[in-house]
Amino acid sequence: MAPTHSGTAESIPFFSQAATFEQLWPSIENALGDVFDSGKFSHGKQVGQLETELAHYTGARHVIGVNSGTDALVLLLRACGLRPGDGVLVPAYSFFATASAVVLAGGRPQFVDIDPHSYAMDPEALDAAVTPRSRFVMPVHLFHTMADMAAVDAVARRHGLTVVEDSAEAIGMRRRGVHAGLHGRGGVLSFFPSKTLGAIGDAGAVLTDDPRIAHTVAALRHHGRGGRTLNDFTAISTESALPGANSKMDDIQAAVLLAKLPLLEEHIARRAELAAAYTARLRDLPGVLRLPRAVPRTPEDRDVHYVYLIETEHRDALAGHLAGQSIGTEVYYPLPLPHQPVFGHLGHRPGEFPHAEAAARRALALPFHPDLRPGDLDRVRDAIGSFLATTRTTA
């Protein structure tokens, strides 16, 4: 669609990868053609290839493709030896799957308030939340930065907790040169379409340096059946040693991800540019708006903007105002995890997790994807500016 220079403005969607797919279409078409030619749509060549490429990209010794980030968390927790009723410390503010994966694996979530700047688990609150039941801690890396893994690790050592990471949003993020997901026993990636590396449906992966965990996850994704080697699906046993799931990755998803992976670093650089361009435009607007903190950019420590999140006390009104100007936004995440109906029996009260509750009330994600153009950011800034001007005069 051509940009309109007069009349009503085009909508700015919250998320789009149309331009990316247009650019990549020849290679995606080729890759999909290979899958169709092979006639193997499940556990074929592409999944094994993607696992090898992702191991190279992340530095993980083992990558096991599965059918979603959520399943990756469940299978990782099971493979790490979670026993029924084990306490798993998780942040009170995250995507629902962080907590549901714990329950699906047989554990009990134990909620921890967040640090308001990183949106990740606060290490001091973590220390205070440990109980005799606690056996795991699962920090989450949200939006644009990682949890303070050195501090989480110190608490985990003091209490003998196993560390696993919900790094579903964190592809490309590193601390001290180590990719997200590889700071404890293992981590995960999600390839849900809107994630930094998105498929055309659901897909996920487990990352680990531990061969025992890797082999257990590989068996758990396929009815508890192991193959001769991890990435070889040609000689899978017909005997099940574990009550495994059916959580295989589709080769069609793997083929799309293989075609997109070579562009990932370019897209991450583009995301950094876009985030800086937003901050430059929003920084000086009159009115109260909290912007993401500057992120480290040394080769050893790298953050990646998965979303661009602002905070304001007038979040819902601002979202409505932007929607009125055809600008898409999303609320990440409107209800703190301890307040989800499914956890009602745990009896958590409002006020217990003040930073998680403030983020749930105030945070708004702006349109953010590699397809955005500078003119789009100007329009978002102008729309936010006009909103802030009216809330100031009516406040």
Ligand X SMILES: *Cc1c(COP(=O)(O)O)cnc(C)c1O
Kindly list the catalytic residues. 195
Q: Which of residues 123-162 bind ligand X (CB under 6 A)?
A: 140
- Residue 17 contacts ligand X per CB under 6 A: no
- Residue 233 contacts ligand X per CB under 6 A: no
Q: Which of residues 95-124 bind ligand X (CB under 6 A)?
A: 95, 97-98
Nearer to ligand X, 196 or 321 (CB): 196
- Residue 204 contacts ligand X per CB under 6 A: yes
- Residue 68 contacts ligand X per CB under 6 A: yes
Least Cβ distance, residue 201 to ligand X (angstroms):
10
Least Cβ distance, residue 167 to ligand X (angstroms):
8
- Residue 245 contacts ligand X per CB under 6 A: no
Least Cβ distance, residue 385 to ligand X (angstroms):
30
- Residue 253 contacts ligand X per CB under 6 A: no
Distance, CA of 214 to CA of 300 (rounded, Å): 26
Q: Which stretch binds ligand X (CB under 6 A): 67-75, 80-88, 216-224, 313-321?
A: 67-75
Q: How many residues bind ligand X (CB under 6 A)?
A: 15
Chosen residue from 190, 196, 208, 231 binding ligand X by CB under 6 A: 190
Chosen residue from 111, 192, 278, 353 binding ligand X by CB under 6 A: 192
Least Cβ distance, residue 71 to ligand X (angstroms):
7
Sites of contact with ligand X (CB under 6 A): 68-70, 94-95, 97-98, 140, 166, 168-169, 190, 192, 202, 204
